[in-house]
Amino acid sequence: MVKTAALFDFDRALCQARRGMPAPLRLAISTAAALSIVLSCLSACGNTAAICARAGGSLEGGACTRSGPQEAADKQWCEEHGAVYLAGPGTCAYGEGR
């Protein structure tokens, strides 16, 4: 007769692996996660003005608006050629919406 190897008890091992996390550790982990989310949001909002300034615009009312000599020249060119200058995408619109 052949001896069988001792069987591994998966149920018992699973129960041992799932020990409850202590409340202070759980609180520390959730606090750290919430703090990291808040700090990343604040840093993203703080960099918005710098990104807008590097792009040649200014941050007004939460929106980055570009205005300068190039935009003024583009607007004048569009109007001289019978179009409307769309400041957001920086393009000319010809006969749209009629």
Could you give the CA distance from residue 74 to residue 62 in angstroms, rounded to a whole number?
A: 24
Please give, one letter per residue, the 3-state secondary structure of 28-90. Answer: HHHHHHHHHHHHHHHHHHHHHHHHHHHCCEEEECCEEEECCHHHHHHHHHHHHCCCEEECCCC
Check whether 5 has a pLDDT greater than 60.
no
CA angle 84, 77, 75 (to 5 degrees): 55
- Whether 92 has a pLDDT exceeding 70, the answer reads yes
Overall pTM > 0.75: no
Q: How do residues 10-35 score in pLDDT, each as one tens digit?
A: 777 766 655 666 788 888 888 999 98
Does residue 93 surpass a pLDDT of 80? yes
